[in-house]
Structure 1
Amino acid sequence: MASLFKKKSVTQLLKESKSETFSKTLGAFDLTILGIGAIIGTGVLVLTGLVAARDAGPAVIFSFIIAAVVCGFAALCYAEIASTLPVSGSVYTYSYVTIGEFVAHLMGWTLLSVYILTASAVASGWTGYFYNLVSGFGLEIPKALLTIPSQGGIVNLPAVIITLVLTWLLSRGMKESKRVNNAMVLVKIGIVVLFIAVGAFYVKPENWVPFAPYGLSGILAGGATVFFAFLGFDALATSAEEVKNPQRDLPIGIIASLAVCTIIYIAVCLVMTGMVSYKELNVPEAMAYALEAVGQNKVAGVIAVGAVIGIMAVIFAYIYAATRVFFAMSRDGLLPEFFAKISKKTGAPTFSTWLTGIGSAFIAGFVDLKELSNLANIGALLTFSMVGVSVIILRKTHPNLQRGFKVPLVPVLPIISIACCLFLMINLPLTTWMYFSVWLAIGVCVYFAYSKKKAVISDDKRLEIKKAE
């Protein structure tokens, strides 16, 4: 039993953080852009309108604020521990050093499901924006190539293609691909700013009356729904070994990206619900719809183009995050060593990148994710809880470690973070718990069949990362 809770040493982790396995190319600005790229996507382009129409009305801004507060508690915990232990693997690594090997394996296993499923879900949603864009130019794509078999089609081909293109980009290495990602995110921010700047002139205050038509229960229901819109900042923790100055840059990137996105969400919601009645926003492309409703068709077209480009940044960020979890688990022997092989030419874990990309492309192209949509939520909430636990334990066991950022009011604030996450988990559907239990059961089988026997704790073995030709 004791072997299940073998821990990594902090000294060993800090040695890994100084290794030259990855090129250290990311600064605070790159991290903030990567975080914004992962967070702003379907949340601002889809959920804003749907939640306003179905749950909260104009008071949807409070739904986003509630979700942001819950994520904010977790973000503070991430900022402390990521700046203290700047190593790839995120909560998988944090669990390994604070609780032990078995829990760490399950956390890594959970992270893989969160990142891969989210990348697939976003790619599936991207198809709708892409189809509407090309349709505007008179180009038609057969419906059979836009829908999955269970919906009467053959394959969601655009989702497959865009996922594989972004995978190829990531396989070229982070130094090359970060420029493209930064450009995609800046385009996305640009279209949101454009929407706010143009839409503000068409706001009618009477559209904000009644402000909370569905009451407090509607606002809370909306908060649970839009929680998904804030996922993404946690992916920054997986990039720790590629950050130039992790003690300073990681906390800035995590907290700044969440703060910027919260402000953007509130501004978009206020303008959107002021332009048209919330009752009309039950559409997947609420921003474009609101602009068309006030006669700004050209601007709506620009928004559509920007959405196609911007959502690609979300897929990019989640594929990237999954590959770094694969890398960290493989380096520790919990997965086969070829997951940790780094290409000499690109400096990227090529095999892990392509495995993640092909898997995500397959799910996006052929699998109906509707019933599994909350699986990413439950996994993320569990990992957020574990980060809070890790902060409390690490403060107790290693109080003198250098921390680039410190969570205030420990252990009170981390406990509040854990309680909020557990409360949202309890309120998820029973089917979600069933799917998640099956995934964890598979993870347990993998651990006892392979990982437990192959896990390595020695410094020398873990740091021997082979670079493939």
Structure 2
Amino acid sequence: MCLIMLLAGLLSFGPKESTTVNKIFTIINILVLVFVIIGGCIKGSIYNWNITAEMLLNITAEARNLSSAVNITSDYGAGGFMPYGFSGTLTGAATCFYAFVGFDCIATTGEEVKNPQKSIPIGIIMSLLICFLAYFGVSAALTLMVPYYLLDTHSPLPGAFEYVKWGAAKYFVSAGSLCALSTSLLGSMFPLPRLLFAMARDGLLFNVLAKLSKRQTPVVAMTIAGIISAILACIFDLRTLVDMISIGTLLAYSLVAICVIILRHQPDFSNKVGIEMNEEKHSRQTTGFSFRSLVIPLQFPTQQSSNIVTCCVGLIVILVCILSGVITYQLESIKAAEIWSIGCLVLIVLISTLAVFIIWRQPQNQKKASFMVPCLPLLPILSILINIYLMTQLNVAIWIRLSVWMAIGLLIYFCYGIRHSVEGKRHQDCSVPSPLGNEKPAEEENKDEMV
């Protein structure tokens, strides 16, 4: 709790000061990671990746008979390289998804970067690569040094070096762990006040959160975010916080993927001529909804085509939730090739394929943006599928906490944000024609676009 408040105070000074501290901690982290990986290669044994099921049964029997055997559970899996199978790996991936929260930091600092079109893609790709190599290397070294069933879940790295008789190294690794914790907190807390500031500037949150300090940092949003984070750290244990961060991040990425599809097919109100031509063409073809509009695209998106895409995306999300639940809780039925489970999977795949085909046939907004997701709609739908499936791997208690947190957010939105949304008011102004003589000058329109 004290560490969070200290880092919140550091972040309130501005990105330059916090970035300098973060660089120092990161250098220490890299040195510790390299040391752990090299130490794992020296003291590790490939035997720990080839533990058989018979050996696990003997260990389980000894653990039940010996009272001195502590912190050892009776379920060790099947042994080998992936003792808990592919499903166990996905469950671990869902829990460890908090490791990728730092990408929010890259995306939310676009306004503070000199050349975001170049820096942001490079930053995301390099962060992905570095995170993968770091977690892959440390996990491999850790499980090579210590059998996986003997790992200390509270402090695995120092415990591993003590297990291999490198007692002095555990202090160096512990110091590196504290630096890693600090950089993780900085990476999590840095984008949060900027998200709150951006939402307050758009009218979705209270105006006080949009205030800036003399250093042009969202100091009010940082203070409130730091207090809330410190209270949560004081109330909940580490595992609960990690699961809450993971499920929140997965949900946020799923919503982003959904919005990418919907926004790409929204009508461009700046191109009123094309919209009017499309609407006129629709009125000549049909007086209402027709199945022809599902597969025969027009040149520009209309409100009808946008509604079709929104309905298809909603249907796909529902089907993905059902598919994830079936795979998670009825996997044995699928392996046994029971008729109801196979029929359910086939029906879900067919309906989803049809919905994807309809989305693909709808016209997209022709307005070019600085960043555009490729392979639409396949790539966002794949992201939705993976994220929702990983969310189903988390326990029910985390879902209950997420529901309470979402209820608070929705309450704020429907009581305040929906009536003060700047984008909502602008959308209404663009969709309703202005009275004659009240059109905005070109300079004022350009200013609105920049905002």
Alignment of 1:378-457 (within 5 A): 378-396=247-265, 397-403=364-370, 407-457=373-423
Cα distance in 2 for partners of 1:450, 1:392 equals 27
Q: Give per-residue Cα distances to partners, 1:36-77, cap 9 Å, x unaligned.
A: xxxxxxxxxxxxxxxxxxxxxxxxxxxxxxxxxxxxxxxxxx
Cα distance in 1 for residues equivalent to 2:142 and 2:229: 32
Cα offset, 1:192, TM superposition: 0.6
Superposition deviation, residue 429 in structure 1: 2.9
- Residues 209 and 220 of structure 2 are in contact (CA less than 8 Å); yes or no, is this contact kept in structure 1? yes
**Is 1:309–2:150 an aligned residue pair?**
no
Give the secondary-structure state (helix, strand or coil) at the position aligned to 1:317. Answer: helix
Please state if 1:247 is matched with 2:117.
yes
**1:334 aligned partner, one-letter code:** L
TM-score with structure 1 setting the length = 0.59
- The unaligned stretches of length 5 or more in structure 2 are 51-79, 266-363, 427-443
1-structure distance, mates of 2:398, 2:262? 29
Alignment correspondent of 1:165: 6
SS of 1:391's partner is helix
Which of the numbers 340, 353, 361 marks the counterpart of 2:222?
353
Q: Distance in 1 between matches of 2:134 and 2:96?
A: 14
What is the aligned residue count? 302
Aligned residue identity for 1:454: H
How far apart in 1 are the matches of 2:21 and 2:402? 34
1:55-94 mapped onto 2 (5 Å cutoff): none
Greater shift in the superposed pair: 333-342 or 386-395: 386-395
Q: Which of residues 366, 375, 397 in structure 1 aligns to 2:244?
A: 375
Q: Residues of 2 paired with 1:170 and 1:375: CA distance?
A: 23
Partner of 1:174 in structure 2?
Answer: 15
Contact 1:238 1:325 in 2 (8 A): yes
2:140 matched residue in structure 1: 270
The equivalences for 1:193-232 within 5 A come to 193-209=34-50, 210-232=80-102
1:73-115 Cα shifts (integer Å, max 9, x gaps): xxxxxxxxxxxxxxxxxxxxxxxxxxxxxxxxxxxxxxxxxxx
Given residue 172 of structure 1, which amino acid in structure 2 is its aligned partner?
A: F
In structure 2, what is the Cα distance between the partners aligned to 1:409 and 1:202? 45
1:185 is displaced (CA, Å) by 1.6
- SS of corresponding position for 1:348: coil
Residues 264-288 of structure 1: CA deviation (Å, up to 9, x unaligned) = 1111122221122222114322122
Return the alpha-carbon distance in structure 1 between the equivalents of residues 5 and 145 of structure 2. Answer: 38
Residues 446 and 214 (structure 1 numbering): CA distance in 2 closer, same or farther, change over 3 Å? closer
**One-letter amino acid of the counterpart of residue 274, structure 1:** L
Give the secondary-structure state (helix, strand or coil) at the position aligned to 2:154.
coil
Match of 1:326 among 181, 196, 201: 196
Distance verdict in 2 for CA 1:216–1:322, change over 3 Å: closer
SS in 2 for 1:297: coil
Match of 1:364, SS state, is helix
Instruction: Mark the CA change 1:200 to 1:187 in structure 2 (over 3 Å): closer, same or farther.
Output: same
Shift of 1:371: 5.1
Q: Aligned pair in 2 of structure 1 residues 302, 368: CA closer, same or farther (>3 Å)?
A: closer
CA separation in 1, counterparts of 2:177 and 2:242?
21
Could you tell which deviates more after superposition, 197-206 or 368-377? 368-377
Q: Hey, what does 1:156 align to over in structure 2?
A: none
Distance 1:218 1:451 in 2: 40
- Kindly indicate whether structure 1 or structure 2 has the higher relative contact order, using CA contacts under 8 Å at least 6 residues apart: 1
The answer for the alignment partner of 1:336 in structure 2 is 206
Deviates more, 1:321-330 or 1:438-447: 438-447
Name the SS for the 1:330 alignment partner.
helix
Deviation at 1:430, TM superposition (A): 3.0
Letter in 2 for 1:186: I
AA aligned opposite 1:227: F
Check whether the contact 2:91–2:390 (CA below 8 A) recurs between aligned residues: no
Q: Is residue 364 of structure 1 aligned with residue 330 of structure 2?
A: no
Distance 2:201 2:46 in 1: 57
SS at match of 2:246: helix
Contact 1:372 1:432 in 2 (8 A): no
Is 2:90–2:393's contact at 8 Å kept on the other side of the alignment? no
Q: Does the CA contact (< 8 Å) of 1:391 and 1:414 recur in 2?
A: yes
Once residues 415 and 96 of structure 2 are traced to their aligned partners in structure 1, the CA distance between those partners, rounded to angstroms, is 38
The CA deviation at 1:378 is 2.5
Counterpart Cα distance in 2 of 1:430 and 1:274: 33
Alpha-carbon separation, structure 2, partners of 1:273 and 1:175: 38
CA distance in 2, matches of 1:183, 1:321: 19
**Alignment equivalent of 2:30, drawn from 185, 189, 193:** 189
Say if 2:152 and 2:159, in contact at 8 Å, map to a contact too: no
- What is the distance in 1 between the residues matched to 2:132 and 2:109? 22
1:456 deviation in Å?
Answer: 2.5
Report the more deviating stretch, 195-204 or 359-368. Answer: 359-368
Cα separation, 2, equivalents of 1:228 and 1:184: 19
Task: Give 2:383's aligned amino acid.
Answer: S
Evaluate the alpha carbon distance shift between residue 232 and residue 177 of structure 1 in structure 2; reply closer, same or farther with a 3 A threshold: closer
Structure 1, 411-420 or 291-300: larger mean CA deviation: 291-300
Tell me the CA shift for residue 376 of structure 1: 2.5
How far, CA to CA, are the matches of 2:366 and 2:151 in structure 1? Answer: 51
TM-score normalised by length of structure 2: 0.62
Residues 250, 455 of structure 1: alpha-carbon distance in 2 compared, 3 angstrom cutoff: same
Q: CA deviation at 1:218?
A: 2.9
Residues 317 and 226 (structure 1 numbering): CA distance in 2 closer, same or farther, change over 3 Å? closer
Give the alignment's Cα RMSD to 1 decimal.
2.5
CA distance in 2, matches of 1:427, 1:294: 33
1:277 alignment partner AA: P
The Cα shift of 1:402 comes to 4.2
1:297 aligns with 2:167: yes
- Uncovered stretches (5+) of structure 1, i.e. residues with no partner: 1-159, 465-469
Answer whether contact 1:291 1:299 (CA < 8 A) is retained: yes
For 1:456, give the aligned amino acid: V
